Amino acid sequence: MRFTKRKHACVRLEKDGRTLVIDPGGYSEDDAAVGADAILVTHEHPDHFDEGRLRAGLEADPAAELWAPRSVADRIAAAFPGRVHTVGHGDAFAAAGFDVQVHGELHAVIHPDIRRIANSGYLVDGAVFHPGDAFTVPGTRVETLMVPVMAPWNRIADVIDYLREVAPVRAVDVHDALLRDLARPTYDGLLGALGGTEHLRLAPGDSLEI
């Protein structure tokens, strides 16, 4: 499987000539969903769900399909009948030749005064896990963890503890658009030294084979 980092929380997975994209949101590239055979969205926040980017991807390929929580699916399903699927915790499905399991139900707590929304994490081919905006532990071995490093709802201590609990073979930074270059060496050093696993930070467009 070829993994490509896109901006912020968006990633692109390629296998056997087919492509799956997760979270082409408002901080990702304008064409983040274009060329995808399947698109997964973790939740409704605009940095993960951008209707224009989703429409561009679904319109570019009339066979492309979308999987997302109801709060996202209901907003776009009417325009693409039969191609938008609602998912929730415990679901499993095949998307563009990838096996996907859904883990998690709620977005992490931002503040007690802010209502928590649905959040679906995706385990792809039993190896790559994108938690969205949550510290969901899938309860199975994870080879490559997309780790949300910078968000209004987390602290570096929480990120380190999450890495230790999931204990993946490697962790790759996502949710990093708000992390300024000045802070990156500090985050890299702490996660690399204390996370207990190989820690990778890829620039948008960089790829690795997993």
Interval 84-118: pLDDT, tens: 999 999 999 999 999 999 999 999 999 999 999 99
Delineate the domains of the chain, giving CATH numbers in brackets.
2-209 (3.60.15.10)
150 φ/ψ angles, rounded to the nearest 5 degrees: -145, 115
146 φ/ψ angles, rounded to the nearest 5 degrees: -80, 115
Q: What percentage of the chain reaches a pLDDT higher than 90?
A: 98
d(CA 98, CA 124): 6
The pairing of strands 11-15 and 18-22 is antiparallel
Contact indicator for 62, 54 with CB cutoff of 8 Å: no
Residue range 47-62, pLDDT digits in tens:
999 999 999 999 999 9
Q: What does the pLDDT read at residue 201?
A: 93
Q: What does the pLDDT read at residue 163?
A: 97
The pairing of strands 207-209 and 2-5 is antiparallel
pLDDT by residue for the chain (210 residues), tens only, comes to: 999 999 999 999 999 999 999 999 999 999 999 999 999 999 999 999 999 999 999 999 999 999 999 999 999 999 999 999 999 999 999 999 999 999 999 999 999 999 999 999 999 999 999 999 999 999 999 999 999 999 999 999 999 999 999 999 999 999 999 999 999 999 999 999 999 999 999 999 999 999
Q: What is the mean pLDDT of the chain?
A: 97
Sheet bearing 121-124, strands edge to edge? 92-95, 98-103, 121-124, 128-130, 144-148, 170-174, 198-200
Q: 3-class secondary structure for 76-94? A: HHHHCCCCEEECCCCCEEE
The pairing of strands 92-95 and 207-209 is unpaired
